A = this chain, B = another copy of it.
Amino acid sequence: MAQRATVYDVAERAGVSIATVSHTFRQPGRVRPETRELVLQAARALGYVPSGSARGLAKGRSQALGLYAFDMFLPSDLRATAESIDELVQRELKGLDDARRFPLYVDEIQRGFEVEARRAGRPVMLGSGASRDSLDSIDLAGSVDGLAIFPGDAARDLLEHVGRGVPVVIFSSPPMHDPLHHITVANEAAMRELVDHLVDHHGRRSFAFLGELAAPDIGARFRGFQLASAAHGLPVPEEPFDTTVLTEDSLRTLRDAITSGDLPEALVCATDQLALTVLDLLARHGIRVPEDIAVTGFDGILAGRLSQPTLTTVRQPFASMGRLAVRILTDTAAGLTHPKSYVLPTRLVIGSSCGCP
């Protein structure tokens, strides 16, 4: 690719100064029509494409909004060894990669983010990187006017570092006193509502909460679960059921336990994805849902509406969260605003996995 043409090239060819070239594109009214035409012609002839970097540097901002995801969200596709395109094509044409893998909740937020960014006339810059310490997020932050981040196991000080230089909003993160904007939902209340439903509507009285407490949102859901349990006079677990070991083996144990009757009547899962996995495992072991045991999720992703049985869950307004992030960022990009926290509402979505018809 021959050297990209610059303002200098265009100016020379049009017989004007670089300032005139710049004016022609940025303040067309300021230049005489004939001159303008001259410049445009030269630009066309040279295939002139203005450098975004140079412009960004000169103006102090790039217009772009960033969206960063830590690797934890990446599909396993990523680790797969490099394959030839032919292999990829063949696999894709054969397979039925469906809604179980895409779109996941991250994708729904991302979509909302993109939609709103388009409305704002801003490009979106997508980035990702290793989970911890990685500098990728910093690099991305340096290229955008505002950055939205999916929570990961990134060190908080890294995020705060970034937040000092660029407006940052972080998803699924509870209100905190740091330089970041937070967007989350009323996890605790939502979970209480869900448990209430299982108790009041289906008379279930023994539960197990499945999930890892790594993410703050999950923690809030577990707290909601504990509170609901207490409110109904049920035993309050200290910790969630450990799902890091939710394998075939542990499932078999679960099954035996069910037979002997001393196992929970309902499995309350921290996320839809987890719930769907659980449904699969249960089905494979001949345990019927909801007859033998009830299962619930959290998130309201598409896949949960397509499963058999359909998932009873809590829907989050993901798209709106993405859109909100953009609005915060564009508002903030102007002048410094105090970091804000937003706690959005959710909605209980009744499927058949809880026992409802």
**Chain A residues proximal to chain B, CB less than 8 Å:** 1-2, 4-5, 44, 47-57, 62, 64, 74-75, 77-78, 82, 85, 88-89, 92-94, 96-99, 102-103, 107-108, 111, 114-115, 117-119, 123-128, 138-144, 161-167, 302, 305-306, 315, 317-320, 323-324, 327, 332, 335-336, 342, 344-347
Contact = CB atoms under 8 A, between A and B. Distances in A.
Contacts of A52: 53, 56, 62, 139-140, 142-144
Contact of A125 (B57, B97, B125): B125
Contacts of A142: 49-52, 55
Nearest to A303: B99
Given A52-B56, A126-B126, 9 more contacts: A1-B165, A1-B336, A2-B336, A49-B165, A52-B142, A53-B62, A85-B342, A123-B140, A123-B143
A61 to B, nearest CB: 9
Contacts of A324: 85, 88
In the complex, the count of this chain's copies comes to 2
A88 B96 CA distance: 33
Contacts of A53: 52-57, 62, 143
Contact of A85 (B143, B144, B320): B320
Given A142-B55, A165-B49, A345-B93, A88 B323 contact: yes
A226 to B, nearest CB: 25
Nearest to A69: B118
Contacts of A320: 85, 88-89, 92
A-B pairs with lowest CB-CB distance, top 8: A52-B143, A47-B164, A53-B56, A49-B165, A53-B57, A93-B347, A124-B126, A52-B142
Contacts of A4: 165-166
Contact of A54 (B5, B57, B162, B327): B57
A97 B162 contact: no
Contact of A5 (B98, B111, B165): B165
28 contacts: A1-B165, A1-B335, A2-B336, A44-B161, A47-B164, A47-B165, A49-B161, A49-B166, A50-B139, A51-B57, A51-B143, A52-B139, A53-B55, A54-B57, A55-B142, A56-B143, A74-B115, A78-B119, A85-B323, A92-B317, A92-B320, A93-B347, A98-B305, A99-B99, A102-B111, A107-B111, A117-B126, A124-B125
Nearest to A140: B123
A74 B347 contact: no
